[in-house]
Structure 1
Amino acid sequence: MTTDQLHPDPVPDPAPHPAPAAAVRPDALPVPHEPRPGGGEGWFFLSEALRTFRLTGAVAPSGADLVNALVVPAASRPDRPISVLEVGAGTGAVTRRLARVLRAGDRLHAVESNPRFVQRLRTDPELARRGPELGLRVSECRVQDLPESRAAESGAGPDDGSGRYDVIVSGLPFTNFEPVEVQRVLDLYLRLLVPGGELTYFSYLGTSAARLLTSGPRRGARHRAVVRLLRRFEREYGLGSRTAWRNVPPARAYLLRAPGGHRHAAAGGGASAGGAPGAAR
């Protein structure tokens, strides 16, 4: 990741919200031409979202703009094999994009706790075609329950970096969880990343106001506590953000870097993502 991939968000016309000061450039990659979520996949995703909204946290698969922003670290990469972990893979919108971006010899590990989504991932023809080249692994569990996660949390992981990841792409709906759960997952991400490894995650815009209108005081307080926790994390580790206005609903993707190392090190550092206003999933 370099500083030329951080720039102010383009503001649509008309602009309902101010653009953040720094952004992850979507044109770091060619934008894939993908069909809009719909048909079988869109309805399947929606049915699962209605059934398990706390864990799914969305009503449609991520759109192409958001997907493109989330996979930037996997494409802006060193000239060596890399290892990528995707958490909350859903029906595979990001997973398929990663499979196109990554090269033979890279490693891709997709984690999803919903068994119906896992079945979809394991029977996806594009992933089946590219999987052997990427050592694709699909795990049906929470990220906390992975063997490498348990080793990292216990401090028993290897010192040579094996079992760690260069890039983590997270699709977890953080504001649906308790603050202690979110803190545990964020700490775990830092332990699972190699020094200087990069993390992306996203949040939907405008949900803070929606929660105030539709949730009770306890849920509203929990939501605000999680948002504060995420903003602190972004101030400490953030490189920038990009808003995907055409996503349904609009969303903001954040790019962060683990301490240490020199992977994608930018001359003079990067812009902080912590100041981006109004993003809460």
Structure 2
Amino acid sequence: MTTDQLRPDPVPDPGPGPDADANAADSADLSGARAGAAGPNALPVPVGSRPAVGEGWFFLSEALRTFRLTGAVAPSGADLVNALVVPATSRPDRPISVLEVGAGTGAVTRRLVRVLRPGDRLHVVESNPRFVQRLLADPELARREPELGLRVSECRVQDLPEARAAEASGHPGGAGDGPVRGGGAGCEQPGAAAGRYDVIVSGLPFTNFEPAAVQRVLDLYLRLLVPGGELTYFAYLGTSAARLLTSGPRRGARHRAVVRLLRQFEKEYGLGSRTAWRNVPPARAHLLRAPGVRREKAAGGAPPTGGAAGAAR
């Protein structure tokens, strides 16, 4: 991606249509929603790279085999990836902790390892074992693993020890003992440090799930984020009409119920959205912030507390 790809694309929004309930006009460009937050610690917007040879076909084969859980036909494109990693590119002057849920073949994961700094923590959760093996074999991830304490868990986010603790107590425990390494062995990894996250990037196909399951995951994300922490996720455009045409009234009604739930969540916690028109298919990324008070760096040099961005907005 180029350095201006967080700005709105020159392609006009087609306006209200059959999917207007799911795709209201962008409330704000993601970078605009965080204007003034970049400050001296902002990282440059990274330039996209082409997927590994064969990645698209591998992803498609897995999508056709497990579409309900994959929810896509191709890896996220550069525009969408760039929008999803926004919270990790503008950050406090301290190590941050990032959770990626539903990593697929690693398009977002590779971008995250490029923008994160030594001492940061990256936890990747993916339930598809074939995707997990691909992630573990990725040379770029392996190279950065020691610096980032990279942890890969083969399970659902709801099954993480820290997630179960968060649901049982209403909030997660402390921030853990430090970086956690290695992965691919499932959720219960020996020595894994449970904690809260400054940033969560979700690739889950929410509209493939029941509304109650979506509500549970969204509530879990809020519990796993530090106060003021930031969350990004995306949805494809035109899905309500497509669902009605291909799946019938019952699934269409379930889909619309999930969309209404997401819109309410975005109304309460949203900072803005960004449409990636060049993605296949086009998608809209949403940026949200968990409730809580953020503090800027104190005069005495003490590090800020709270989420992943710089100044309070």
TM range (shorter): 0.7 to 0.9
Q: Which has the larger radius of gyration?
A: 2
2:48 pairs with one of 33, 44, 51 = 33
**Structure 1 residue 214, shift from structure 2 partner:** 1.1
1:99 maps to a residue whose letter is: V
Aligned to 2:265: 233
Q: Distance in 1 between matches of 2:106 and 2:254?
A: 29
**Structure 1 residue 236, shift from structure 2 partner:** 0.2
Q: Distance in 2 between matches of 1:28 and 1:202?
A: 22
Once the two structures are superposed, what CA deviation does each residue of 1:208-231 show, in whole Å capped at 9, x if it has no partner?
111111111110110000000000
1:9 maps to a residue whose letter is: P
1:80 pairs with one of 91, 94, 118 = 94
2:121 pairs with one of 100, 104, 107 = 107
Kept after mapping to 2: 8 A contact 1:29/1:72: no
Summarize the alignment of residues 1-281 of structure 1 with structure 2, pairs less than 5 Å apart.
9-12=8-11, 16-17=14-15, 20-25=26-31, 29-35=44-50, 37=51, 39-155=53-169, 159-162=173-176, 163-262=195-294, 263=307, 264=309, 269=313
Q: Distance in 2 between matches of 1:204 and 1:158?
A: 31
2:227 maps to a residue whose letter is: P
Q: Distance in 2 between matches of 1:266 and 1:105?
A: 21
Q: Distance in 2 between matches of 1:17 and 1:80?
A: 42
TM-score normalised over the length of structure 2: 0.78
1:30 maps to a residue whose letter is: V
SS, match of residue 9 in structure 1: coil
Q: Distance in 2 between matches of 1:57 and 1:116?
A: 16
**Structure 1 residue 75, shift from structure 2 partner:** 1.1
**Structure 1 residue 161, shift from structure 2 partner:** 3.9
Kept after mapping to 2: 8 A contact 1:148/1:157: no
Once the two structures are superposed, what CA deviation does each residue of 1:241-269 show, in whole Å capped at 9, x if it has no partner?
100110000100000000002143766x5
Ranges in structure 1 where 5+ consecutive residues have no aligned partner: 270-281
2:213 maps to a residue whose letter is: E
Q: Compare 140-149 and 155-164 and name the one that shifted more.
A: 155-164
Aligned to 1:278: none
RMSD: 2.2
2:76 maps to a residue whose letter is: S
Kept after mapping to 2: 8 A contact 1:9/1:21: no
Q: Distance in 1 between matches of 2:100 and 2:75?
A: 15
Ranges in structure 2 where 5+ consecutive residues have no aligned partner: 17-24, 33-41, 177-194, 295-306
Q: 1:179 to 1:197 in 2, by over 3 A?
A: same
SS, match of residue 25 in structure 1: helix
Kept after mapping to 1: 8 A contact 2:173/2:196: no
Once the two structures are superposed, what CA deviation does each residue of 1:11-35 show, in whole Å capped at 9, x if it has no partner?
31x6534852411139974342311
Q: Distance in 2 between matches of 1:150 and 1:15?
A: 41
SS, match of residue 50 in structure 1: helix
- Deviating beyond 6 angstroms after TM superposition, the runs of 4 or more aligned structure 1 residues are none
Q: Distance in 2 between matches of 1:69 and 1:58?
A: 17
Identity %: 79
Q: Distance in 1 between matches of 2:26 and 2:171?
A: 38
Q: Number of residue pairs matched?
A: 261
SS, match of residue 62 in structure 2: helix
Q: Distance in 2 between matches of 1:244 and 1:28?
A: 21
1:16 maps to a residue whose letter is: P
Q: 1:239 to 1:266 in 2, by over 3 A?
A: farther
Once the two structures are superposed, what CA deviation does each residue of 1:87-135 show, in whole Å capped at 9, x if it has no partner?
0000000000000000000000000000000000001000000011000
Kept after mapping to 2: 8 A contact 1:144/1:150: yes
